[in-house]
Structure 1
Amino acid sequence: MAVRYKVCIDCSDPHLLARFWAQALDYVVEDHSPLIDSLLAEGAPIRDHLVEVDGRLAWRTAAGIRDPEHPVNAETGVGQGGRILFQTVPEPKQGKNRLHLDLHVGADRVDAEAERLCGLGATRLGEGHEEGGSRWIVLADPEGNEFCVA
């Protein structure tokens, strides 16, 4: 049986990156308010761990996005398929990523997609070519995490 996983990205503002990446990937931001509401109703001391985002309660130090075509746990708001979790860490990003995402949009859409992503807050860092004529554009998300559009 295959192992389920999520990709975790350290950051300083998980809600900013969740919004950016949800738009970049055509994912949706996870709504954890059903879980939060049930914990509050049970008297869990979590108020200091919460923030209001888009009119609903969310975790202060974490935000997730998920593939809208995959199932979701209605009690927690957590996706059961492809998902990315953004989590707050105290230190800033240092150096080049050791892991990055490649967004495959097709050779005819690379330039337009890079332009769209820059309009969402990405920064263009450069361009690459490999044997066989493949082309990609290197971008950084709003917190400087590198990724490629190919």
Structure 2
Amino acid sequence: MGLDSVSATSGAAGKLIVRADQAAYRSAMQIVVTLDCVDTEAQAAFWLAALAPLDYRRGFHGPPYLSLVAPAPAPTLLLQHVPELKQGKNRMHLDLDFGTADLASEVSRLERLGAAQLSEELSEHGFRWIVVADPEGNEFCVFNPPNSTNVPEIVARSG
């Protein structure tokens, strides 16, 4: 993105507001989610199978990193080897909508791959989810959004 696609104006209280051309961001921006893990190969096998519906494949591999990539706009999952096992609750986690209302079947599929179910089905504001952990204990949620046009932007799909 060049400087010609960025503009700046003064906002309230003299704060500088920077705006960039959204098209430039859409073509250049990339989201990478990094996951610390002890065994990058085992985690890669799990996540490739778990994310198979999204056509993920192995990308860059240069220790201590191994990337899993999918067609845009899906984020890259970067596995980073670390010596220690996960401790405590994740401060950030993935929420995965596999496009099915049958969460139990999806969780069963993930359990056959090595995941562990950590919660019963939960619901709030029309969202339904089950908390699951990958083989190294990293929590993530398998969810289903409400059947409504009033779904928050964070779960809106590009079409």
Instruction: Report the TM-score, using the length of structure 1 for normalisation.
Output: 0.67
Q: Decide which structure has the larger Cα Rg and report it.
A: 2
Runs of 4+ residues over 4 Å off in structure 1: none
Counterpart for residue 28 of structure 1: 56
Percent of counterpart pairs with the same letter?
A: 43
Taking a change above 3 Å as real, the CA distance of residues 145 and 87 of structure 1, as seen in their structure-2 partners, is: same
Kindly indicate whether the alpha-carbon contact (under 8 Å) linking 2:59 and 2:69 is maintained by their aligned counterparts in 1: no
Map 1:12-51 → 2, pairs under 5 A: 12-26=38-52, 27-32=55-60
Q: How many pairs are equivalent? A: 115
Taking a change above 3 Å as real, the CA distance of residues 61 and 119 of structure 1, as seen in their structure-2 partners, is: same
Counterpart for residue 35 of structure 2: 9
Secondary structure at the aligned position of 1:4 is classed as coil
- Counterpart among 66, 76, 79 of residue 86 in structure 1: 79
Instruction: Report the TM-score, using the length of structure 2 for normalisation.
Output: 0.64
Which string of whole-angstrom CA distances, capped at 9 and with x for unpartnered residues, describes residues 97-138 of structure 1?
011111113462211100000000000111243333432111
How much is the aligned-residue C-alpha RMSD, in angstroms? 2.1
Which runs of 5 or more residues in structure 1 are unaligned?
33-57, 71-79
Counterpart for residue 50 of structure 1: none
Which runs of 5 or more residues in structure 2 are unaligned?
1-23, 144-159
Taking a change above 3 Å as real, the CA distance of residues 81 and 105 of structure 1, as seen in their structure-2 partners, is: closer
| Deviation for aligned residue 1:18 | 1.1
- Counterpart among 105, 119, 142 of residue 135 in structure 2: 142
Map 1:62-101 → 2, pairs under 5 A: 62-67=65-70, 69-70=71-72, 82-101=75-94
